[in-house]
Amino acid sequence: MPANAISTNVPVLQLTDIRKTFGGITAIEKFSLDVHPGEIVALVGDNGAGKSTLIKIVSGVHPPTSGSIAIDNEIVAMSNATMARARGIEVVYQDLALADQQSVYMNMFLGREPVNRFGLLDRRRMIAETEQLVKELDVRIPSAHATIRDLSGGQRQGVAIARATHWASKLILLDEPTAALGVAETAKVEEIVLSLKSRNIGVLIISHSLDQVFRLSDRICVLRRGRQIGVRKTAETDKNQIVAMITGLQEH
């Protein structure tokens, strides 16, 4: 795939008129958004704006109350995370879902381990695929055999993103992927996120850091109290405008 793959016209993800209520609470209202292959879209908004709820809707954790989700122009119903994964959608959370006691390569395949013709774990394949992906994404870890608990926060998040990349054919959802990391680790993880563009995967990222949003995203979608306030091309906006949209304190 070319290093700077160009977005096609068919969105990898198309959300139309999504609404989500929890009892009497309306968490998301009339929300529509497209994400294209190779595009990074940032979701920003204040606490409680509905960002995590949206990620959970796209990852199959919460079915929407109404509205539609299309993957590659096909309307899909995803009533659990397994169905979303089967559609090529993977999520990376801030609190990592890695097995601490296990090796990097076991984590890459957690719950989806390949077996060889004798019905045994195909470790050779797991290690080879892990090593290749870690190299491609430049995730700096001692080896595929390293135990997760011995890695730094940045290395772990690198493994989590590498795992998502291994399984996601369409879309990766990142929910505050660097919230727990230091400056250098954050820079490395951001580099890995940017490298996903060349794999033609769509990325939807939640971040509270506007600096990060401006470093990574192609477009920024602002949410306030469950409503989409607007979408801006990152190159055509600035932090002041986005802050005004998030807070609703100024005209935009």
Ligand X SMILES: Nc1ncnc2c1ncn2[C@@H]1O[C@H](COP(=O)(O)OP(=O)(O)OP(=O)(O)O)[C@@H](O)[C@H]1O
Unique residue bearing structure tokens 């793959």: 5
* Residue 139, phi then psi, degrees to nearest 5: -80, 115
Q: Which is nearer to ligand X, 27 or 148 (CB)?
A: 27
Closest of 216, 106, 82 to residue 159, by C-alpha = 106
Q: In the bound complex, what is the minimum distance in angstroms from residue 83's beta carbon to ligand X?
A: 19
Task: Say how far apart CA 96 and CA 181 lie, in whole Å.
Answer: 12
CA-to-CA separations, 95 to 27, 79, 161, 245, in angstroms, rounded: 22, 23, 12, 28
Q: Which is nearer to ligand X, 67 or 88 (CB)?
A: 67
- What is the smallest separation between the CB atom of 61 and ligand X, expressed in angstroms? 9
Closer CB to ligand X, 158 or 226, in the complex: 226
Q: How far is CA 243 from CA 30, 51, 72, 146, 231, in A?
A: 22, 16, 32, 42, 13
Tell me whether residue 151 or residue 206 sits nearer to ligand X (CB atom). Answer: 206
Choice between 36 and 62, CB closer to ligand X: 62
Q: Is 98 helix (H, G, I), strand (E, B) or coil?
A: coil
Based on CB atoms, which residue is closest to ligand X, 49 or 69? 49
Closest CB 18 distance from ligand X, rounded Å: 12
Residue type, 71: I
Cα(247)–Cα(167) distance, rounded to whole angstroms? 36
At which residue do the structure tokens 């772990």 appear?
156
Residues that bind ligand X (CB under 6 A): 22, 25, 27, 45, 47-53
Whole-number minimum distance, CB 181 to ligand X, in Å?
Answer: 17
Q: Minimum distance from CB of 220 to ligand X (Å)? A: 14
For residue 68, the one-letter residue type is: S
Q: Closest separation between CB of residue 28 and ligand X, Å?
A: 8
